[in-house]
């Protein structure tokens, strides 16, 4: 076995083999995959092999489409059959909520270029005579669906990788991974040690154990899962051609043809996590004892909907484990805080996703960034809060909800209160409905006390609508306060801090006592941050940004930090805080500050370290609401004191607490985008309009690309739309249509309460981006007229926030 390699991939399941294939295909030959046993010795060999494109995240759907289209390629390159059956398949809805869901998926598919279409139930029954059409109300057809032979597909990736010059070694368990001082790795096996520049943990069922070898805890959990295969069914035998695949959401099951019978799998509502304490090293090509009772009620539903199944004998019952992650999506990329350590774990639909995962991993490793935004799969969306215990709780929840509807306004119940602020109980007592960002609870909106604090999950306007309206009224007319503990805070100190920030940020780095807004770009000019940079002293800076993105940003900063001169720390948990917004916010603040905060003493975008309500604080004159406003950051132990003082001082000023939902509405009427939705690495500074904040008189990461784009022009542009609707708003990802064609999609939107309009932000072709342009937005299958706005609907000149 070789002793040096650029990359060692640990794990020869479908995921590891796909990464091997993509690295080799794109030109890295010095790559080796090490497999403990034979290839496919984890969950890959016993998968049902069903393939489809549907995913909650549009980019994952896109990558699933890529994966499915790749099967022919790897078969050709390797000469090894993948057993692909391109039957097409349908998603079946048996209630209105699922029908709405499918309409949303159809709308997403339009702009992703996927060819999903509704077919009539008669047509569905014609294509698949075994289903009972009476049980359904809608069927969405996807021609890409079908199935593959899991073992064949895994071997085809590996053999095709060999054709391109990479290698794999079976019966070679990795027993240690030790990092050298220079950041490279020694991968220890019984056959010898390989010294590698980078390693990839693709350990699947053993992802946790492989992680432990490097001191890394991954929040993944193997779950038991059943599917059954029937004896031959006369209707299947008689059917001409292979039957299409199907997913029945309410029935919680997937099905497809298997030889002359059927395969039926189900996600039971009470899950069985497997080997919570750790996957045994000697577990091999094994199955678990089936437990028919566990899925009996699901099967009953299945037999009602596909009656022929109930009449057939069960030939085989498979119970096998596979790993889930906390939100059901894979975890890929470089692990923050550990140099040159990559993961591709928690891939729970490997035969739909491994191609896309391999593609993105290879691009990321070779080019420094994937070609599309992979945030929904990035390992950095989890941090310290995602402990192994939390991982088990959330992965179980996710398994159980695999085919259970999650509405856009719904928050999931498990793993809650993992991180809280000192105000948690108080906000609950005020009627807060809480959400969770990066493990931390924060208020979404406030009902009339705890007994009233409940939401009705829906795609339409919910009962929260009117409560959010009154929060917004308080902010626009008097004063509102919001907890801002969930914003990320990054601290940079040292003599080299300004130079470093000047290079890593595209915007102007301010003078002491001032703040600026700035995009942060990748070398290819993609957006990688939309941040506020504050200079507290010449050698002391704070960056405020997306709380969800804090570990991804930490990874980015640490990757680029110079050897000396700058000390960096993620201080997000060290500062909590409260934001004040509204015309009376200055009056309130002055009531709890000894120093002068008048308009002349503290101007818009000023920042100072001072005392507020008698506690040490960083006081910044800024607000995301578009009003006069302040952000007061303080250590968590002072949060309660600060809140009490604000509450007392605001009593006669009409103070009201508001939550994240109100903030998202307030910023809409200002046409301000938000990170992860409108601003993300799928777009550039020029496309998003964030080039407005760029300082062109300096060098910065991404300058060359951005300058060229500015000179040559862009094809798409972020616009604000007003949509003509009465009782429904977008909930992101809807298609934006022009003359019957999908020309873009909604990146974010909702109801803008103060201006009383339904609004959306989205990217459309430049030619359609001018103010007054008439477009349409598809919401739950209906087309609604929409118009591009030429300026923000609220305070277009920004006079209020500067007042």
Ligand X SMILES: Cc1cc2nc3c(=O)[nH]c(=O)nc-3n(C[C@H](O)[C@H](O)[C@H](O)COP(=O)(O)OP(=O)(O)OC[C@H]3O[C@@H](n4cnc5c(N)ncnc54)[C@H](O)[C@@H]3O)c2cc1C
CB of 335 to ligand X, least distance (A): 16
Q: Which stretch binds ligand X (CB under 6 A): 8-16, 138-146, 475-483, 533-541?
A: 8-16
Q: Which stretch binds ligand X (CB under 6 A): 5-13, 94-102, 292-300, 765-773?
A: 5-13
Q: Quote the crossing angle between the two packed helices 58-78 and 150-163, to the nearest 10°.
A: 70
Residue closer to ligand X, measured from CB, 47 or 379: 47
Instruction: Please answer whether residues 518 and 477 qualify as being in contact, where contact means their C-beta atoms are separated by less than 8 angstroms.
Output: no
Is 320 a residue that touches ligand X (CB under 6 A)?
A: yes
Is 14 a residue that touches ligand X (CB under 6 A)?
A: yes
Residue closer to ligand X, measured from CB, 352 or 760: 352
- Give CA–CA dist 715/645, Å, rounded: 51
Dig out the tokens for 506 from the structure: 């595209």
What are the angstrom distances between the C-alpha of 429 and each of 169, 662, 766? 59, 19, 48
Dig out the tokens for 214 from the structure: 């490097």
Is 472 a residue that touches ligand X (CB under 6 A)?
A: no
Residue closer to ligand X, measured from CB, 13 or 659: 13
Is 347 a residue that touches ligand X (CB under 6 A)?
A: yes
CB of 475 to ligand X, least distance (A): 46
Choose among 324, 375, 694, 631: nearest CA to 483.
631
Is 194 a residue that touches ligand X (CB under 6 A)?
A: no
Q: Which stretch binds ligand X (CB under 6 A): 196-204, 557-565, 585-593, 753-761?
A: 196-204
- Give CA–CA dist 555/290, Å, rounded: 43
3-state SS, residue 188: strand
CB of 226 to ligand X, least distance (A): 7
User: Which contiguous run of DSSP H or E holds residue 157?
Assistant: helix 150-163
Dig out the tokens for 498 from the structure: 């300004």
Over the window 279 to 318, marking each residue x when it contacts ligand X by CB under 6 A and - when it does not, the resulting string is: ---------------------------------------x
Residue closer to ligand X, measured from CB, 14 or 31: 14
Q: Which of 28, 255, 351, 679 binds ligand X (CB under 6 A)?
A: 351
Q: Which stretch binds ligand X (CB under 6 A): 343-351, 493-501, 621-629, 686-694?
A: 343-351
Residue closer to ligand X, measured from CB, 14 or 760: 14
DSSP letter for 242, please.
P
Over the window 150 to 189, marking each residue x when it contacts ligand X by CB under 6 A and - when it does not, the resulting string is: -----------------------xx---------------
Q: Which residues contact 41 (CB under 8 A, 6 or more apart)?
A: 12, 13, 35, 284, 285
What are the angstrom distances between the C-alpha of 68 and each of 85, 108, 757? 11, 18, 41
Choose among 210, 208, 233, 235: nearest CA to 219.
208
CB of 25 to ligand X, least distance (A): 18
- Give CA–CA dist 748/669, Å, rounded: 12
Q: Which stretch binds ligand X (CB under 6 A): 342-350, 463-471, 615-623, 628-636?
A: 342-350
Q: Which of 109, 210, 386, 478 binds ligand X (CB under 6 A)?
A: 210
- Give CA–CA dist 747/728, Å, rounded: 17
Instruction: Please answer whether residues 302 and 183 qualify as being in contact, where contact means their C-beta atoms are separated by less than 8 angstroms.
Output: no
Dig out the tokens for 153 from the structure: 């597909």
The full DSSP string for 591-624 is HT-SS--STTTS-TTBEEEEEETTEEEEEE---T
Residues in 20-79 at the binding interface with ligand X, rule: CB under 6 A: 34-37, 41-44, 46-50
CB of 354 to ligand X, least distance (A): 7
For the purposes of burial, counting CB atoms within 10 Å of the CB of 564, is it exposed (0-12), middle (13-18) or buried (19 or more)? exposed
Number of residues that bind ligand X (CB under 6 A): 40
CB of 161 to ligand X, least distance (A): 14
- Give CA–CA dist 803/798, Å, rounded: 9
For the purposes of burial, counting CB atoms within 10 Å of the CB of 781, is it exposed (0-12), middle (13-18) or buried (19 or more)? middle
Residues in 218-247 at the binding interface with ligand X, rule: CB under 6 A: 225, 227
Dig out the tokens for 348 from the structure: 């729970």
Is 11 a residue that touches ligand X (CB under 6 A)?
A: yes
Residue closer to ligand X, measured from CB, 317 or 640: 317
Residue closer to ligand X, measured from CB, 259 or 417: 259
CB of 169 to ligand X, least distance (A): 9
Dig out the tokens for 534 from the structure: 């504050």
Q: Which of 58, 89, 146, 203 binds ligand X (CB under 6 A)?
A: 203
Residue 208 φ then ψ, to 5°: -65, -45
Q: Which stretch binds ligand X (CB under 6 A): 235-243, 290-298, 344-352, 546-554?
A: 344-352
Alpha helices in 379-445, H assignment, sequence order = 388-400, 424-429
Residue closer to ligand X, measured from CB, 166 or 685: 166
Residue closer to ligand X, measured from CB, 255 or 438: 255
Q: Which of 63, 138, 187, 205 binds ligand X (CB under 6 A)?
A: 205
Is 393 a residue that touches ligand X (CB under 6 A)?
A: no
Residue closer to ligand X, measured from CB, 171 or 595: 171
CB of 393 to ligand X, least distance (A): 20
- Rounded-to-10 torsion of CA 588, 589, 595, 601: -100
Residue closer to ligand X, measured from CB, 352 or 475: 352
Residues in 706-765 at the binding interface with ligand X, rule: CB under 6 A: none
Name the site residues for ligand X (rule: CB under 6 A): 10-16, 34-37, 41-44, 46-50, 173-174, 202-206, 210, 225, 227, 318, 320-322, 347-352
């Amino acid at each position: 076995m070789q002793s040096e390699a650029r990359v060692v991939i640990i794990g020869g399941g479908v995921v590891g083999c796909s990464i091997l294939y993509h690295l080799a295909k794109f030109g890295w030959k010095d790559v080796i995959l090490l497999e403990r046993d034979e290839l496919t010795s984890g969950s890959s060999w016993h998968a049902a092999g069903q393939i489809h494109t549907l995913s909650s995240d549009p980019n994952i759907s896109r990558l699933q489409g890529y994966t499915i289209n790749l099967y022919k390629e790897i078969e050709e390159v390797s000469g090894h059959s993948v057993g692909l059956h391109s039957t097409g398949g349908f998603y079946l809805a048996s209630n209105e909520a699922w029908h709405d869901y499918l309409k949303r998926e159809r709308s997403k598919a339009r702009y992703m270029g996927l060819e999903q279409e509704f077919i009539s139930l008669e047509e569905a029954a014609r294509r698949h005579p075994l289903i009972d059409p009476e049980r359904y109300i809608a069927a969405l057809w996807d021609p890409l669906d079908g199935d593959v032979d899991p073992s064949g597909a895994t071997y085809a990736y590996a053999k095709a990788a060999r054709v391109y010059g990479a290698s794999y070694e079976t019966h070679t368990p990795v027993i240690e991974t030790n990092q050298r001082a220079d950041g490279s790795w020694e991968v220890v096996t019984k056959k010898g040690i390989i010294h590698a520049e980078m390693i990839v943990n693709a350990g699947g069922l053993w992802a946790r154990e492989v992680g432990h070898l490097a001191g890394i805890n991954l929040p993944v959990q193997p779950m038991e899962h059943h599917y059954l295969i029937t004896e031959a069914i006369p209707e299947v035998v008689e059917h001409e051609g292979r039957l299409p695949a199907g997913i029945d959401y309410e029935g919680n099951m997937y099905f497809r043809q298997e030889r002359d019978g059927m395969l039926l799998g189900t996600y039971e509502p009470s899950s069985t996590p497997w080997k919570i304490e750790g996957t045994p090293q000697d577990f091999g090509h094994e199955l678990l004892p089936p437990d028919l009772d566990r899925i009996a009620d699901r099967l009953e539903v299945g037999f009602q909907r596909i009656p022929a199944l109930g009449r057939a004998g069960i030939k085989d019952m498979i119970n096998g484990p596979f790993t889930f992650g906390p939100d059901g999506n894979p975890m890929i990329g470089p692990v923050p805080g550990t140099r040159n350590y990559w993961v591709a774990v928690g891939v729970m639909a490997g035969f739909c996703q491994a191609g896309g995962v391999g593609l993105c991993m290879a691009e990321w490793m070779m080019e420094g960034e994937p070609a599309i935004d992979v945030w929904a799969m990035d390992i950095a969306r989890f941090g310290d809060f995602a402990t192994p215990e939390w991982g088990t709780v959330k992965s179980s929840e996710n398994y159980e909800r695999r085919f259970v509807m999650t509405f856009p306004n719904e928050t999931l119940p498990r793993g809650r209160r993992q991180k809280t602020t000192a105000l948690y109980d108080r906000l609950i007592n005020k009627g807060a409905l809480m959400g969770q960002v990066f493990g931390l609870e924060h208020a979404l909106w406030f009902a009339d006390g705890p007994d009233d604090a409940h939401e009705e999950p829906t795609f339409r306007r919910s009962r929260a609508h009117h409560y959010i309206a009154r929060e917004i009224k308080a902010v626009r007319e008097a004063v509102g306060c919001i907890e801002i503990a969930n914003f990320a805070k990054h601290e940079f100190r040292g003599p080299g801090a300004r130079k470093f920030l000047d290079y890593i940020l595209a915007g102007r780095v301010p003078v002491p006592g001032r703040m600026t807004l700035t995009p942060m770009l990748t070398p290819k000019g993609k957006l990688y941050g939309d941040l506020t940079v504050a200079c507290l002293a010449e050698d002391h800076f704070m960056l405020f940004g997306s709380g969800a993105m804090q570990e991804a940003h930490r990874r980015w900063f640490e990757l680029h930090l110079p050897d000396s001169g700058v000390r960096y720390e993620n201080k997000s948990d060290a500062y909590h805080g409260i934001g004040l917004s509204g015309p009376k916010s200055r009056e309130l603040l002055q009531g709890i500050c000894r120093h002068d905060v008048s308009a002349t003493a503290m101007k818009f975008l000023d920042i100072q370290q001072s005392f507020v309500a008698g506690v040490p604080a960083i006081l910044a004159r800024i607000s995301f609401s578009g009003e006069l406003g302040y952000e007061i950051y303080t250590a968590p132990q002072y949060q309660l004191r600060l809140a009490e003082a604000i509450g007392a001082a605001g009593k006669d000023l009409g103070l009201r607490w508001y939550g994240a939902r109100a903030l998202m509405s307030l910023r809409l009427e200002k046409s301000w985008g938000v990170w992860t939705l409108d601003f993300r690495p799928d777009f550039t500074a020029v496309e998003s309009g964030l080039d407005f904040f760029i300082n062109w008189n300096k060098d910065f990461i991404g300058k060359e690309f951005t300058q060229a784009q500015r000179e040559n022009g862009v094809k798409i542009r972020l616009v604000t739309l007003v949509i003509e609707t009465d009782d429904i708003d977008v909930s992101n990802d809807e298609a934006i249509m022009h003359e019957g064609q999908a020309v873009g999609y909604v990146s974010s939107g909702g109801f803008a309460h103060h201006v009383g309009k339904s609004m959306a932000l989205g990217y459309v072709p430049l030619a359609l981006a001018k103010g007054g342009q008439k477009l349409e937005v598809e919401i739950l299958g209906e087309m609604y007229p929409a118009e591009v706005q030429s300026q923000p609907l609220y305070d277009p000149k920004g006079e209020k926030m500067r007042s």
